[in-house]
Amino acid sequence: MTLSTQELLDGILEGKHRALARAITRIENRQEGYRDLVSGLYEHTGDADVIGITGSPGAGKSTLVDKVAKAYRDRGLTVGIVAIDPSSPYTGGAVLGDRIRMASNVGDMDVFFRSMSARGSLGGLSTATADAVKALDAFGKDKVIIETVGAGQNEIDIVQAADTVVVLVPPGSGDNVQMLKAGILEIADVFAVNKADMDGADRTVQELEEMVHMDDGHVSVAAGHHGMGVDTEVDMPEKGDGSEDAPEPWETPVLETVATTGEGVDEFLDTLQAHADWLEDTGQIDAKRRQRTAEEIRTLLREDAGALVEDEIAEHGGVDALAERVLDGDTDPYSIADEVLDPVAACLERED
């Protein structure tokens, strides 16, 4: 039975898991009515703590997420998990979507797990991910965890989606840490060296700590990402500026975990809570959510404008026909772009 948008919305707010599952399916597949559904969720969001967990393939993200969810449940908290998997080149769906990943939480209705496709997004996160997080938030989940596909430097999209970003690093040589330094490691609020019982873990921890504490004790790796390219960053007063209540900057901790046994998970959860408290105390949580909302608006405008342009291109015979005109020497790509967009610009001018 197909439920109406209002029935899905009511079901989510009433805590019905079937409604939540169907709503996320509608959101992920961009089915008719999904925009009205997400619009209806907005006023009921803002209470969940959103945690992003990323890292290189093989770091043990799925196993750690499983143990983290179990630990949160032991503390009486409800959990929603969105695992972003690679997209199938044939169906667009999640390649690993059918895998069993929540072995410690099977049968626990207060742990909701959903595998979603990256759908070719360069940052590993599809637009639907943020909407699915809103559904879990409105449903009343205390913690929402986004586990990313682990595709390398493009994972910086997680900064836009999560309040706290965790980067998992497997034990390895210093060369591996240096290779990652310029990319994915710069987005971390928390580092976790998973598989810490393996050889090389101590060295990896030491190298990460040296990265964090370089620059005469100032945090250089983590300092930037709370305001990466964002105009809404909260000013953090420096020590000695006369302000007795100047908040301490967040210094990115380096933790050790062994996800297979659960070792270090309690400390891991305590650190996540400490970062959440720091965000609240400094006002950074408002800045991050303002940044997130601004990016969602930009994304939707790009998508909708792109759809309008696609319609206009179809009116001109399709992109292949336009390309043929260029190859025939009749025009050039820049002139084509002007030709397609001029009617759109004219419509906007008339609206003004």
pLDDT in tens, 207-258: 888 888 774 344 434 444 544 433 334 444 444 454 556 568 899 999 999 9
- Segment 62-82 mean pLDDT: 95
| Cα–Cα distance measured from residue 126 to residue 312, given in angstroms and rounded to the nearest whole number | 25
pLDDT above 60 for 87: no
Average confidence score pLDDT of the chain: 81
- Segment 23-42 mean pLDDT: 93
Is 251 in contact with 30 (CB distance < 8 Å)?
A: no
pLDDT in tens, 150-167: 655 446 678 888 999 999
pTM reported for the whole predicted model: 0.82
Specify which residues 116 forms β-bridges with: 84
pLDDT above 50 for 308: yes
Is 136 in contact with 42 (CB distance < 8 Å)?
A: no
- Segment 44-50 mean pLDDT: 95
Residue 325 — very low, low, confident or very high, per pLDDT cuts 50/70/90? very high
CATH superfamily of 46-235+247-284: P-loop containing nucleotide triphosphate hydrolases (3.40.50.300)
- Segment 30-41 mean pLDDT: 94
Residue 92 — very low, low, confident or very high, per pLDDT cuts 50/70/90? very low
| Cα–Cα distance measured from residue 345 to residue 351, given in angstroms and rounded to the nearest whole number | 10
| Cα–Cα distance measured from residue 345 to residue 338, given in angstroms and rounded to the nearest whole number | 10
Is 22 in contact with 37 (CB distance < 8 Å)?
A: no
Residue 261 has what pLDDT?
92
Q: 176: helix, coil or strand? A: helix
pLDDT above 60 for 26: yes
| Cα–Cα distance measured from residue 72 to residue 77, given in angstroms and rounded to the nearest whole number | 5
Residue 222 has what pLDDT?
42
Is 67 in contact with 102 (CB distance < 8 Å)?
A: no
Portion of the chain with pLDDT greater than 90, in percent: 47
Label residue 226 exposed, middle or buried (CB < 10 Å: 0-12, 13-18, 19+).
buried
Is 95 in contact with 45 (CB distance < 8 Å)?
A: no
- Other CB atoms within a 10 A radius of the CB of residue 57 amount to 10
- Segment 91-112 mean pLDDT: 62
Is 117 in contact with 126 (CB distance < 8 Å)?
A: yes
Domain ranges of the chain: 46-235+247-284, 300-351
Is the model more confident about 268 or about 300?
268
